[in-house]
């Protein structure tokens, strides 16, 4: 297999709980995924990123693992996993496992042992500290899911660290024996035949042994003091040598709080760490106008801000490192609702425009389940419709502790909550959108009658068929994979325009981020020659762009 095959790949993320339910318990499962392999092959993707399917008490929907070598009961059995892997491979699709090794569940046997006593052999697998003065937490670090990152354990009189929920204690990577056990477990999955790993919050694994307070930023933002710690590159190189080296795997590390310079260290080709990372700069809400409550009340980004970030990353990793291209995943609201316009008139056009702008860039594109249908935020009205631990905690904090009015907090959740991405896949217009014959674990977006896979597969002009084409074009055109990226119209308020160049081939990409008709500036009109490779209107713009128009011209420089 070609060494850097993952540079040519398109990845599709499955959030198993919400994908397809085969047994009517209202929860998606592995046989459900297996049954949809034809659909994924039709879409044309190369790799499935599978969100965690390991045994878990589900405090954070599987991102709290209690047994790394077993399958979550609701999702099926190891035989079901093996069948899914085999079926995927038979369809030419690879499986990238999501692996969570910054923390485990508090129900993992390592932790239940660890909390038995201060001299338990597993004590040092986690991060335990004495109380500060007056019995307070050892420092002010906050959990990403609200409140202190430290929980006091009555039995042993110390605090343990959890950068996420109380039920997700952080592992102590300083402990060599623990690290070796993690590597052994990953080799076990690798030898089973999985094709890669997505490493959950991997740049948080190395903690500064001084546990510095850091600036008081509030709302979980203390993670900047916990990210990219002193031994991070040493650990990643060690893990690479122990698990990845010599195997042609795809690896991506989820990395909050990184810039392009750091990304080169994580993903540089001869660094022997990871193939690529996910950064968060473009999905954190406007950084120019930060909110008082972090991402919750930050206004959406306008085009200039979004473009500056994406372009900085395109340029930053042009010669070293590799970009992952994404606008949505299971932690983000639906991209058409956030960056596009999900009202009936523009949903379809703006979903295709966003797909174009991302899929024509340099890097590996990631599609989150339902994005290929243009699925939208459900914008649940009542707190009891939400399931996500982060959303429930912030709701409690803002209403009870900060005293904000209920409607204000609900307005934040409607736009930003992770549950916006977690409503079930919309397969057809039948009961429960064809997701389950039982009662789904979380509500279904009522728009499924209009927006569903069955309908879109039949419609040549659907978002689904547009995504199929975007994927196919990447497979057929090296210029999309390898071409140099150059920005056009850097100051334009509405149009995101750029070129890609490889040898004698050039692409010109134009995307209108507004619902207005906008003139194409004279200075670039001369570039609009050649074949229209893809576009979301029948007639492609030459002098002006229609609302949310996207068009890609391909030309030969000969
Ligand atoms: C990552 C996951 C998110 C999870 C968190 C803690 O950010 O993507 O879903 O809650 O890590 O594991």
Q: What is the dihedral sign for C-alpha 203, 204, 208, 209?
A: negative
- Residue 377: CB atoms within 10 Å: 22
Q: Please give the average per-residue pLDDT across 255-275, as a whole number.
A: 96
Give the mean pLDDT of the chain: 96
Residues pairing with 14 in the sheet: 50
**Three-class SS string for 305-337?**
HHHHHHHHHHHHCCCCCCEEECCCCCCCCCHHH
- The CA 545 to ligand 1 mean position distance, Å, reads 39
Percentage of the chain exceeding pLDDT 90? 92
Report the nearest atom of ligand 1 relative to the CA of 329.
Answer: 8
Q: Which has the closest alpha carbon to 107: 157, 159, 164, 169?
A: 169
What is the tens place of the pLDDT at every residue in 3-62?
A: 899 999 999 999 999 999 999 999 999 999 999 999 999 999 999 999 999 999 999 999
pLDDT digits (tens, 9 = 90+) for 51-97: 999 999 999 999 999 999 999 999 999 999 999 999 999 999 999 99
Catalytically active residues, by annotation: 200, 254
> If pLDDT is split at 50, 70 and 90, which confidence band does 219 have?
very low
Phi-psi region of 261 (alpha: psi -120 to 50; beta: other; left: phi over 0): alpha
Compute the distance between CA of residue 348 and CA of residue 372 in angstroms, rounded to an integer.
11
pLDDT per position as a tens digit, 283-324: 988 878 778 888 999 988 999 999 999 999 999 999 999 999
Contact 10, 474 (CB under 8 A): yes
Which of these, 106, 92, 84, lies nearest to 35 by C-alpha position? 84
- Separation CA 118–CA 245 (nearest Å): 37
For the CA atoms of the chain, what is the radius of gyration? 23
CA distance 530 to 524: 14
Ligand 1 atom with the shortest distance to the CA of 60: 10
Q: How crowded is residue 443: how many other Cβ atoms within 10 Å of its Cβ?
A: 16
CB atoms within 10 A of CB 400: 9
With the most atoms of ligand 1 within 8 angstroms of its CB, the residue from 201, 279, 328, 392 to mutate is 201
The rounded Å distance from CA 497 to ligand 1 centre is 33
Nearest CA to ligand 1 atom 2: 200
Cα gap 421→440, rounded to integer Å: 15
């Amino acid at each position: 297999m070609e060494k850097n095959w993952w540079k040519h790949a398109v990845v599709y993320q499955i959030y198993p709980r919400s994908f397809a339910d085969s047994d009517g318990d209202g929860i998606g499962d592995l046989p459900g995924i297996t049954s949809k392999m034809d659909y994924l092959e039709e879409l044309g993707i190369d790799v499935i990123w599978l969100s965690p399917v390991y045994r878990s008490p589900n405090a954070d929907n599987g991102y709290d693992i209690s047994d790394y070598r077993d399958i979550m009961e609701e999702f099926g059995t190891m035989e079901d996993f093996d069948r899914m892997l085999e079926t995927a491979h038979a369809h030419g699709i690879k499986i990238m496992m999501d692996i969570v090794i910054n923390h485990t569940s508090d129900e993992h046997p390592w932790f239940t042992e660890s909390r038995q006593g201060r001299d338990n052999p597993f004590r040092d697998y986690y991060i335990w500290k004495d109380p500060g003065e007056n019995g307070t937490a050892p420092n002010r670090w906050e959990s990403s899911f609200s409140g202190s990152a430290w929980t006091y354990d009555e039995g042993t009189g110390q605090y343990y660290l959890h950068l996420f929920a109380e039920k997700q204690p952080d592992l102590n990577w300083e402990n060599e024996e623990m690290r070796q056990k993690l590597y052994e477990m990953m080799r076990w999955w690798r030898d089973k035949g999985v094709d890669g790993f997505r490493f959950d919050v991997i740049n948080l694994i190395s903690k500064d042994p001084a546990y510095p307070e850091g600036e008081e930023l509030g709302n979980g933002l203390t993670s900047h003091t916990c990210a990219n710690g002193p031994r991070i590159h040493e650990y990643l190189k060690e893990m690479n040598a122990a698990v990845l080296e010599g195997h042609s795997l795809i690896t991506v590390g989820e990395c909050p709080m990184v810039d392009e310079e750091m990304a080169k260290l994580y993903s540089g080709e001869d660094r022997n760490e990871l193939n690529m990372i996910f950064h968060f700069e473009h999905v954190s809400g406007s950084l120019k106008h930060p909110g008082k409550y972090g991402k919750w009340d930050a206004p959406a980004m306008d085009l200039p801000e979004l473009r500056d970030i994406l372009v900085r990353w395109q340029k930053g990793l042009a010669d070293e490192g590799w970009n992952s291209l994404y606008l949505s995943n299971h932690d983000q609201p639906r991209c058409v609702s956030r960056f596009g316009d999900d009202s009936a008139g523009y949903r379809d056009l703006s979903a295709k425009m966003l797909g174009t702008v991302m899929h024509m860039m340099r890097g590996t594109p990631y599609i989150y389940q339902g994005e290929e249908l243009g699925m939208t935020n459900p914008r649940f009205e009542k707190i009891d419709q939400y399931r996500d631990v982060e959303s429930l905690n912030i709701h409690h904090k803002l209403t009870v502790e900060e005293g904000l009015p209920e409607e204000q907090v609900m307005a934040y959740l409607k736009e930003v909550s992770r549950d916006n991405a977690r409503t079930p896949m919309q397969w057809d217009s039948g009961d429960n959108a064809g997701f389950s014959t039982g009662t789904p674990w979380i509500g279904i977006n009522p728009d499924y009658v209009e927006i569903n896979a069955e309908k879109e597969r039949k419609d040549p002009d659907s978002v689904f068929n547009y995504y199929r084409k975007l994927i196919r074009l990447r497979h057929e055109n090296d210029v999309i994979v390898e071409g140099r990226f150059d920005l056009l119209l850097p100051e334009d308020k509405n149009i995101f325009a750029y070129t890609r160049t490889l040898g004698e081939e050039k692409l010109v990409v134009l995307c209108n981020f507004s619902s207005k008709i906008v003139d194409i500036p004279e200075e670039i009109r001369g570039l609009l020659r050649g074949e229209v490779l893809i576009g979301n209107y029948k007639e492609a713009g030459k002098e002006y762009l229609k609302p949310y128009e996207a068009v890609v011209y391909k030309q030969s420089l000969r």
